[in-house]
Amino acid sequence: MRNTVLLTLLAIPFCIPADDLVTENGKTFQDYRIADVGSIGIRITYKKDEKLRKATVLFKELTDDFLENYKGDPLTMEIFAASLEKRRKIRALETRKNEELAALEEQEAELKEPSAKRQMNSARRKRALRRIRDRQKQIQRIFNQECSRLDDAERQRIDAAKKEKENGNETHSDPQRTGK
């Protein structure tokens, strides 16, 4: 009787129906359960062909809707919020970078036109083209540095949330010591 109750309790989490998890690239996981949350993604169990299977889904593959609307463990919610915040900031940086690069490409195209070749001597035009290419490299370097800084900030936020949870668990799980 006791073993039957334990088996029933262990089977309950897999019997509850769940929504499907759809990733950015369109992959669908039916009846998924989050088994573990790592630093770069989540491990899930899902049903496929009536069998339980395991998979790892990277944070970058998760949709914004999933990250925003997830309700569950506070630590997991904090990790998802950090990932979503980083993703939004990177999109804003990428938009700004692309706009600046497009403007530089227009300048470069103008300098390569035959009318510009007649207006400017060769040395000045080459210097201008070199300055444009250097600025393009600088913009890309700045973007990469900002992305790295955002990755570090996300990692620190996740580590802080994990430490906070561990400290909360330690204060509640330590038994009272009694003397003789």
Q: Which amino acid is at 49?
A: D
The pLDDT value given to residue 170: 64
Give me the phi and psi of 45, to 5 degrees please.
Answer: -115, 140
pLDDT digits (tens, 9 = 90+) for 116-127: 777 888 888 899
3-state secondary structure of 160: helix
The token pair that represents 20 in the structure block: 């499907």
pLDDT digits (tens, 9 = 90+) for 76-117: 888 888 888 999 999 999 999 999 999 999 999 988 888 877
The pLDDT value given to residue 6: 35
pLDDT digits (tens, 9 = 90+) for 26-70: 888 888 888 888 777 888 888 888 888 898 888 888 888 888 888
Q: What does pTM read for this prediction?
A: 0.70
Which residues, 6 or more positions from 61, have their beta carbon under 8 angstroms from its beta carbon?
23, 24, 25, 27, 41
Residue in the structure block whose two tokens are 């463990």 = 73
Give me the phi and psi of 126, to 5 degrees please.
Answer: -65, -40
Give the sign of the dihedral formed by CA 174, CA 178, CA 179, CA 180: negative
Q: Are strands 21-22 and 28-37 parallel, antiparallel or unpaired?
A: antiparallel
The pLDDT value given to residue 73: 81
